[in-house]
């Protein structure tokens, strides 16, 4: 058995939480594992249900929920989300997760100004980990009931042939290691390989890799963005968005095919998911059958699929299409 991974294809907020929420129910994995990031990565799973630290796979009540050692945690936020979603009995936090402390929030004010960071202390806490002076989850008394070795749990699940779904955060266009995007990036690499390491599995244990795109591009904070819409253009299309964590208005623009290809290749993605098709193309809201999409939407999806296929040898198809905020508003072509 191999673990499937979901990653972002643009600059984050493509709707990964929404897609993981769907896959967790549909594929019924034994465990859903959050990889990487910190409380700066907000996921809207279904209408009004947002998480920043616990896995978006809470949608399946029979899945075990795990937070891998590569994730930076703010214990107060973790505990709040555990309670809010009533997942006390089925969540495990890795002993080795790095902990955010008050000084990390202060240290981030400079980054907020300079590169538009969200300001949750994630980057400075990670820097502290690199300096080998960070506190880990195992040092925090209030987390004791939930502590576990996530790598052991995941590798055992795979050994027994059970399904594992790994939830990546942010996106290819925010990777720390990309010289073109730097310094307007997050504090880690954001590809499938990194997310595998974040939960403690090696590359050979990876199965399907889902790259999630929105039908248009959105970006919170500073940094390059091609085909950005003016306020007027956004108004014409009737689309406006605010950040899940930051509350800031998101910059919007046309689907960036070059970035989509780079991110498919850099992840060795095998499947694509495209969200918010209904927001970009009128008349597609809640459609659950490909044949019922408008011609315009079909043409767009077919051309994205054909283009990705022509560029990436690992890519199979646009497997998931989302046409509304609820899990059921999904076209599943797998
Ligand atoms: P990730 O960080 O990638 O998990 O996404 P996010 O939750 O930050 O993404 P975003 O804020 O863009 O998505 C949030 C809003 O869009 C939520 O209210 C979702 O329920 C909703 N949403 C997600 N997919 C779709 C879709 O296909 N159509 C519509 N209309 N709304 C969607
Ligand atoms: Mg988000």
Task: Please report the pLDDT score of residue 244 as a whole number.
Answer: 85
Task: Please report the pLDDT score of residue 9 as a whole number.
Answer: 98
- Give residue-wise pLDDT tens across range 310-327: 999 999 999 999 999 999
Q: What is the pTM of this model?
A: 0.97
- Nearest protein CA to atom 32 of ligand 1, as residue: 325
Active site residue 104: no
Catalytic residue among 30, 43, 189, 256: 43
- Nearest protein CA to atom 8 of ligand 1, as residue: 13
- Give residue-wise pLDDT tens across range 4-53: 999 999 999 999 999 999 999 999 999 999 999 999 999 999 888 999 99
Task: Please report the pLDDT score of residue 313 as a whole number.
Answer: 96
Task: Please report the pLDDT score of residue 47 as a whole number.
Answer: 83
Task: Please report the pLDDT score of residue 223 as a whole number.
Answer: 93
Residue with tokens 């990036």: 185
Question: Is the peptide bond prior to 183 cis by the omega test (within 30 degrees of 0)?
Answer: yes
Task: Please report the pLDDT score of residue 246 as a whole number.
Answer: 84
Task: Please report the pLDDT score of residue 163 as a whole number.
Answer: 98
Task: Please report the pLDDT score of residue 247 as a whole number.
Answer: 85
Task: Please report the pLDDT score of residue 248 as a whole number.
Answer: 86
Low-confidence ranges of the chain (pLDDT < 70): none
Show contacts of 331-334: CB within 8 Å, 24+ apart. 331/287, 331/288, 331/289, 331/290, 331/293, 332/26, 333/290, 334/271
- Ligand nearest the Cα of residue 252 is 1
């Amino acid at each position: 058995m191999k673990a499937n991974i979901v990653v972002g294809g643009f600059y984050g907020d493509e709707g990964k939480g929404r897609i993981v929420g769907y896959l967790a129910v549909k594929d019924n994995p034994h465990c859903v594992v959050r990889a990487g990031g910190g409380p700066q990565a907000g996921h809207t799973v279904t209408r009004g249900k947002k998480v920043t630290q616990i896995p978006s796979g809470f949608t399946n009540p029979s899945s075990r929920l795990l937070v891998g050692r590569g994730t930076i945690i703010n214990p107060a936020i973790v505990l709040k989300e555990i309670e809010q979603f009533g997942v006390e009995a089925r969540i495990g936090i890795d002993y080795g997760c790095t902990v955010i402390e008050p000084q990390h929030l202060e240290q981030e004010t400079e980054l907020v100004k300079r590169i538009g960071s969200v300001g949750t202390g994630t980057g400075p806490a990670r820097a502290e980990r690199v300096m080998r002076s960070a506190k880990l989850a195992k040092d925090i008394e209030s987390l004791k009931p939930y502590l576990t070795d996530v790598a052991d749990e995941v590798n055992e699940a795979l050994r027994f042939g059970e399904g594992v779904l790994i939830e990546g955060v942010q996106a290819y266009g925010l990777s720390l290691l990309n010289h073109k995007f730097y310094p307007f990036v997050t504090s880690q690499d954001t590809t499938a390989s990194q997310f595998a390491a974040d939960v403690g599995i090696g590359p050979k244990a990876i199965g399907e890799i889902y790259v999630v795109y929105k039908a248009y591009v959105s970006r919170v904070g500073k940094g390059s963005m091609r085909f950005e819409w003016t306020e007027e253009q956004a108004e014409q299309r009737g689309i406006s968005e605010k950040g899940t964590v930051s509350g800031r208005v998101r910059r919007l623009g046309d689907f960036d095919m070059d970035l989509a290809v780079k991110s498919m290749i850099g992840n060795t993605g095998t499947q694509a998911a495209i969200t918010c098709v209904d927001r970009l193309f009128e008349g597609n809201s809640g459609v659950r059958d490909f044949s019922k999409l408008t011609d315009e939407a079909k043409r767009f999806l077919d051309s994205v699929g054909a283009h990705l296929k022509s560029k990436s040898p690992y890519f199979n198809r646009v497997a998931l299409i989302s046409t509304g905020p609820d899990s059921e508003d999904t076209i599943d072509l797998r």
